[in-house]
Every structure is written in structure tokens, then in C-alpha cells.
Chain A
Amino acid sequence: MDNLQELLHGFTIAVTVPHLVLMVVGVLLGILVGVLPGLGAPNGVSLLLPLTFGMQPVSAIILLSSMYWGALFGGSVTSILFNIPGEPSSVATTFDGYPMARDGRPTTALATAFGSAAFGALVGVILITFLASWVAQAALAFGPAEYFAVYFLAFASFVGMGGAAPIKTVVALALGFAIAAIGIDTVSGSVRLTMGVDELVKGVSFVVAVMGLFGIGELLVAVEEEFHARAVSSKIDWREVFRAVGRLPRHGVALLRSAAIGCWMGITPGGPTAASFMSYGIARRFSRRGRHFGTGEVEGIVSPETADHAAGTSALLPMLSLGIPGSATAAVMMGGLMIWGLNPGPMLFVDQKDFVWGLIASMYVGNIVAVALVLLTVPVFAALMRIPFVVIAPLIVIICVVGAYSVSNSYLDVVMMLGFGVVGYLFKKLFYPLAPLVLAIVIGDKAEDAFRQSMLISKGSLGIFFANKLVTCLIVGGIALLLLPLLLQLPRLWRKPASPATDAPVQERAII
């Protein structure tokens, strides 16, 4: 129980008045940048970074990581209220969060999201506390082939477990891969698919794509379907915040499963985005109310939020112990570590005990501070839903335009964002799923790099994907998920007259 002792020592560092003040300031700033689209955690943290140069490293990391927690919570707010995810990892939260808020239950949706996010983060921190050294070793086993296998598994889980027709999922994935390929290719160093537009060399930013696909796309659908101005008459009830949080234990299985998926994907290189998508897909398949997913199910909010925060938290571990940043924000913090004179790597845990354990202790305290603060702000945010549609619609357009522009001060991004809006509208009208498209835009190029790096290592042999137990398991799991829709079709073909709606779930479980 050495770790426990270290942790207690860490608490003596983290729980001091100046550090608690830093946490509150960090969390509040974080919520602010999280709610303002186009800013996001990585930008917020890098804006704050220069202020920390004169601080003690522990104080500096506490400020920055608190801001990160705040931004993660804040990012869910816009996903739920306006269908505009601020971070790739909160995309999955929109699927059920937004319908629930639109149904007049924004308070429930927000409180559920915050409650389960806090649970996920807590599990992540506990994992870091007790398994730090083991986890660091496990992450080293991941070479390019294993990276690819993890990404493959994430994509396959969508085809196998997503709600849409598998072939439509594949089409959406393929489009996402094409968009992810735009820009400079890591492996060959050449410029691809820029179609003569010099600026496209930087690639397509995720924020631009998502603001258009979700924000503008949803708006176009809404304008067409319900032209009449509509405001949600939501009662703002304080007690509802606590009632929603109190109801969470009923979804204990979903919470634990999602936290496990989140931790696993956070440590392995999958990251929070893949974790939240996978968790949502699996919850939809296993939940008794799976068919209602997408219409405002509580579990549809619980699963992605828990997994997202569990992954986001546990992703800090590879950063500290190996020097691999698990997310863009972690990369900024790592830059900070170097400037403060600390070197992320295996020795950090030995040389800088005060720093490491101070940080870990601050994760416990910081998350509690963050969840308390966001729960307090729920009624304020929920009140935003009362604004009538005629007012909120132009606001959403402004937010999306400003957000897209502020990514890299580029007019082209605004045009692309509007273009993505049309794509989002068409996808909705034709019942193509948006989630696989977004997933492929976010991790498509990473998957491609990993595949080609593996091919360079193996000199072109696919045998590398079956070279050891770890990679074989991942690949076989992925293939099984890919084939799942086909397997499910077989019994239905045999017993055609039987009602597939009632039989299907039973058979699916048997096969999984």
C-alpha cells in the first residue's frame, strides 16, 4: 500500500488554501472555454500556460488540470443544449442528450451527464492511483500494429453495434477516411487531396466538421420540420438536479461497463473519443431499452459521458509515465512540464514524487470541485432552453461561424463549416449515421498511419497483425464485430415468419 501513503502525502500538498483557490479558478475558466465553442480545452490551456511559468510546477499543473476538468464538463453543456459538441469526445453525448433537452428535460440531461462524468473520472483516478506502474508497462506493448488493431476495433464496433444499416455505416466511415486524408501524409510526407487549395495543406479541422454537421445540419432540419417558433417550457427545479443524480445508481451496470471501457481506451491509445463512441454503441446493443436510444434515453447519456471522462482522466497516465500525450490538451500540458523543467517519463514517478502525487490528489479534489460547480450552474444553463427558436437559431449560426473562424482565423474554414452543414442535413434526411463519419475524421488518419507503419515494419506482410496474443485478440475481436450484422441476418432468414423484433435481442446476446 505504498501508493496509498504517497496519495495521502499528495493530499497534504493539494488540499491547501492557495491550491483550492487555483482549482476553483481553473474549473471556472475551464467551464467558460468549454461552453464557448471553438475555444475548447487545448486552446484554453495553452492561453493560460504562459501565466504558469513563474509558478511552482505543482501549482501550475493543478491550475491547468482543473481547467481541463472544467472544460470537459463545459463541453457537454453545448452538446446537450444546442447539439454542438465542443470536443470530439462529447459528440456521442449529443445523441440522447440533445433529444432529452429538446423534450423539455434539460435539467435532467445536464445533471445526468455531470453525475456520470464525475463517476467516470473518479474510476479513472482510482485506476491511476493503484495501477500506475503496471499501466505504464502495459502501454509500452503497443506498437504500430497494436495501435491499428485498437482503431480497427473501434471502427468495427460501429459497424457491428451501431444502430444504422451496416452498409450505411461503412459508407459514412469511408467518407470520413477520405476527409481525414486531406493534408500532409505522415508516412510519405506528400500533400494529398488539397485539390489546388493551398490552405487545405493543414487538413480539415474536427471543430469545423462537427460544427457544420451537428450545429448547422440540425438547424436546417429543424427549420424544415418545425417552422413555427418553439421554446421549451422547462421548469427549472433545483430538486430535479439532485433527483437525476440520485437516479444514477439504477444504471449501475451501464456506469461500471462504461467506466471500464473508458479506462481501457484511455490507457491503450484509443483515447476518449473512441471510448465514448464505443461505450454508446455497446450500451445501445445491451440495454433493454436499446431501441429507444437516440430519443433521449438516460443510459444514452450515462454511457458516453462516463467513458469519456474515465478515458480522459486515465489518459494523463501515459503522459506522465511515458511522455505520450493521450489528447491534445495533454500535449499542451506536456509542453508545460518541459518548460517548468520536468521531464515526463518513467523517472518522473521516482524523481518528482511531490509533483506526481500532488497532481493525482488534486484530480480527486479538482473533480469534486468541478462537479459541485457545474451542478450549481445547471439551472442557469437549462434556462437557456427557454429562449424561443427564432432567437436561438441565429445565435447558433453565429456561434458556429465564430467557432469555425477562430480555429485558425481562416475564412475557408467558415465556408467548409457551412458545406459540412449541408452534408449533415443530407445525412439526416437519408438516414445515414453521422457518428461513424465523425469518428473516421478524428482517428482515420491515425489508423492509416498505424497501418502503413506496420506494413513498413513487416515489409508488407499482414502476418504482423497476428504476431502476438495482444494484437491477435484485438484483430479477431474487430473482425467478429464486423461480421456480427451478417451473422444476425442468418437466423432471421431461416425463421422468416417469426417476429424478428422480439427475437433479435436474445440471439444477439447469445452470439456476443
Chain B
Amino acid sequence: MGRTSTFLLSAAAAVLAGTMPALAAWQPQKPIEFVATAGPGGGTDNLARAVQNIITKHKLIEQPIVVVNKGGGSGAEGYVYGKASAGDPYKVIFGTSNAWQQPLVSKVAFNYTDLTPIAAMAQDEFLLWVKQDSPYKTAGDYLKAAASGEFKMGGAQSKDTDEVLTRMIEKVGKVKLTYIPFKSGAETAVQLAGGHLDSHVNNPSESLGQWRGGTQRPLCVFSPKRLPQGPKVTATEGWGDVPTCVEQGLDIKQYEQPRTVWLPGKVTPEQAAFYVDLMKKVQATPEWKDYIEKTSQVDTFLTGAELEKFIKQDLEHIKQVAGEQGWLVK
């Protein structure tokens, strides 16, 4: 039975391929390895496993897929592995904007140009969170109180997205914050709940449980417009009720973290095109919509020139912040 359906599918694929000769030029002939540049359980790992699950469920390719975690060195382990696998189209690397940000600020043995970009598949938003019982109602209140210079801002990792955003808040809001790096967003959220921090800038999924549980609440979202309404998170509020930071006088229009998919360097354009197409198919499934909603991310799909433009812009931006902070490595 299984064999028949596989056969039918491959027959269907062959028919489809006939209509799209450019994309059918390459098909995987052996098992594929998905490399998550994060430990098990994190956002990047969840993405890799969700994509694996969708591909297997819909039989989008015939070859089996294995997910491996290479999250050492804040993800550098996975990217270095991708660099070392140059020319091998059976390794797909799942990461974040770390791929181009990390080489700027620490001496890691890779650069994003060593890899072949496939797509940016989802955007994670950032919000400014405070403890539930703190007196601040808006980002304005928060900045006023933070002017004392005693505020502690927590975040995941050092010189990474969270700290970059913290430094941007300092600059725009003309305040000084003490940034305290932790291993993950989840750990940071617990530290805020325990009152050991004043604020953090977690992604929605990292603090969702804490918001529902009434230990912390978001002041504003770093996005040009409010998030889609979706189901209510607490009894009275949902993500769409959180004002944008610009509305509240903290003028940072947009800050988000893309989840990115890469192949190693030196693969052929046909091989890259195969995976771009595969990821597009993944994104069209109901399971993908479900994944996006459950993790409170924003659905997006950037590839080719658009993706390159996005990377360039982001890189310029990070270079500026990192340059001001003296983080750049030669």
C-alpha cells in the first residue's frame, strides 16, 4: 500500500516535472540531513523538525530526512559544519540572522557568504516586556523610569539580536540600561518573573506562557503595525492589543528576526532551486499555518534577490550598532 502511493506520488511528480523542466533538473538521491544551528527544543530546532514533519507527512520528497542539532558556540558549530560541507546538496542548514551577524562580532570560522541562501521562512517579532506588577503602563513610562540608569535588561546571548535591540532602545530612548545575557529567552523570562530583571525583549513564543500566567506583560511591539489579532492570550487581551512601540514614543519602527534556510556553498543553481521550491510547497500546507500560529510568528517567504537585499540591509544596520558599541572584530 505504502509502496503504491509512493509510486503514484512519484508518477505525479514526474508529470509535474514535465511541465516545469527547470526545477526537475535535480532530485535528491540519498537521505537528507537537516542541521539545526541550535540545541534541541529551541525555536530553530522546532522549525527544522516542523519542516521535516510536513515534508514526511505530505511525501514532498521520497528520501528520508534526519534532523541533527549542532548548536554549539551559539550556532557557529552548525554554520562551520555547513561551510565544511561545500558542494554537498544533502545538508540543509536552519538558522537565524545569526548567520550574518555572528561573524561581525566574534571570531568564528565562517561567514554567511560561505553558504548558499535558500529562504527566510518566518519572522519572529520582538516585544518589550516588564514584570506584571511593575508600575509602567506604556513604553513612555518605562523610558522615564529607566532614565535613573538603574534598569536591568535581560536577553539571550551576548552581542546577538537581543543586545542589539537593547542598544537601539538606549540610543533612541536616551537611557542607559545594564544588559545581562542569559543562555536562552526562556531563562530570561523566568528571571523577569522572579524580579531579578526589570525588562527583556523576548519573542512572543518565549514569553507566551508567562504572559498567560500573569507574571509579565508586553508594553509594546517593535513592528510598523500591530500584530494580527488571533485568539486571546489572557482573559482580556491578545497579541493584536499590544500597541506598537512607535505609538508609545519609542521610535524603533521595525525589528524582527528571520528564520533562515541555507545550503552549503558551491552547490549548483538547480540544487538550490529544488530546495526553494520544496520550502514553498511546505509553506502552502495547513500544518505550516498551524505551526506559525502556535509559535506566534509572522509568515513570510523571502528568497533570491529579495532575501539578499534583506540581508544587506540588516547587515548595514548591525554594522552601525556594532561599530558604535565597539564590537566589530577584524
Contacts and interface: CB of A to CB of B under 8 A. Distances in A.
Given A189-B74, A335-B46, A347-B209, A457 B158 contact: no
25 contacts: A50-B56, A140-B193, A140-B194, A144-B191, A144-B196, A183-B73, A186-B157, A187-B158, A188-B159, A189-B158, A198-B108, A323-B190, A324-B190, A325-B186, A328-B40, A331-B40, A331-B41, A334-B41, A335-B45, A335-B49, A336-B41, A339-B50, A453-B182, A456-B179, A457-B196
Interface in B152-179: 152, 157-160, 178-179
A343 B76 CA distance: 28
**Residue among A183, A345, A459 facing the most chain B CB atoms (10 A cut-off):** A345
Given A50-B49, A142-B194, A325-B41, A184 B106 contact: yes
Contact of B107 (A50, A190, A334, A343): A190
Contacts of B295: 338
B88 to A, nearest CB: 13
B215 A346 contact: yes
Q: Which 9 A-B pairs have the closest CB atoms?
A: A345-B209, A202-B72, A346-B213, A335-B41, A143-B196, A189-B158, A198-B109, A201-B73, A343-B209
Interface in B137-160: 152, 157-160
Interface string A445-465: 000010001001101000000
Interface in A377-415: 408-409
A323 B40 CA distance: 14
A332 interface: yes
B136 to A, nearest CB: 20
Interface of B: 39-42, 45-46, 49-50, 52-53, 56, 67-70, 72-74, 76-77, 80, 105-109, 152, 157-160, 178-183, 186-187, 189-191, 193-196, 205, 208-210, 212-215, 291, 294-295, 327
Contacts of B52: 50
A438 B294 CA distance: 39
Given A188-B158, A189-B74, A457-B152, A323 B109 contact: no
A409 B208 contact: no
A68 B186 CA distance: 22
A234 interface: no
A186 B73 CA distance: 9
A263 B294 CA distance: 33
Interface of A: 42, 45-46, 49-50, 53, 139-144, 183-191, 198-199, 201-203, 322-325, 328, 331-336, 338-339, 341, 343-348, 351, 408-409, 449, 453, 456-457, 459
A144 B182 CA distance: 9
A141 B191 CA distance: 9
Nearest to A320: B209
Given A331-B40, A331-B41, A203 B294 contact: no
Contact of B186 (A50, A190, A323): A323
Nearest to B83: A198
B326 to A, nearest CB: 12
Given A50-B52, A141-B194, A323-B189, A456 B108 contact: no
B80 A323 contact: no
A387 to B, nearest CB: 33
Contact of A49 (B49, B74, B80, B196): B49
B265 to A, nearest CB: 15
A189 B40 contact: no
Given A190-B106, A341-B294, A346 B73 contact: no
Contacts of B42: 335
Contacts of B109: 198, 201
Given A189-B157, A345-B213, 7 more contacts: A45-B40, A50-B52, A184-B106, A186-B158, A331-B39, A343-B212, A346-B214
Contacts of A346: 209-210, 212-215
Contacts of B107: 190-191
Nearest to B158: A189
**Residue among B73, B106, B189, B294 facing the most chain A CB atoms (10 A cut-off):** B73
A338 B294 contact: yes
Contact of A453 (B41, B180, B186): B180
A324 B187 contact: yes
Contacts of B180: 144, 453, 456-457
Given A143-B191, A322-B190, A323-B190, A46 B40 contact: yes
A141 B205 CA distance: 23
Contact of B108 (A45, A46, A201): A201
A88 to B, nearest CB: 15
A10 B25 CA distance: 55
A459 B177 CA distance: 12
**Residue among B52, B213, B215 facing the most chain A CB atoms (10 A cut-off):** B213
A331 B186 CA distance: 10
A348 B68 CA distance: 29
Contacts of A332: 40-41
Given A184-B73, A187-B181, A335-B45, A323 B209 contact: yes
Contacts of A459: 178
B70 A339 contact: no
B24 to A, nearest CB: 28
Contacts of B213: 345-347
B108 to A, nearest CB: 6
Contacts of B39: 328, 331
Contacts of B49: 49-50, 335, 339
Contact of B46 (A338, A344, A348, A351): A338
Nearest to A339: B46
Given A49-B49, A191-B108, A457 B210 contact: no
A184 B195 CA distance: 28
Contact of B181 (A183, A339, A453): A453
B40 to A, nearest CB: 4
Contact of B70 (A183, A186, A190, A202): A202
Contacts of B209: 323, 343-348
**Residue among A139, A143, A198, A336 facing the most chain B CB atoms (10 A cut-off):** A198
A303 B226 CA distance: 55
A141 B46 CA distance: 29
A322 B191 CA distance: 10
Nearest to A184: B73
B205 A189 contact: no
Contacts of B205: 338
B124 to A, nearest CB: 13
A42 B40 contact: yes
A49 B56 CA distance: 14
Contacts of A347: 209, 212-213
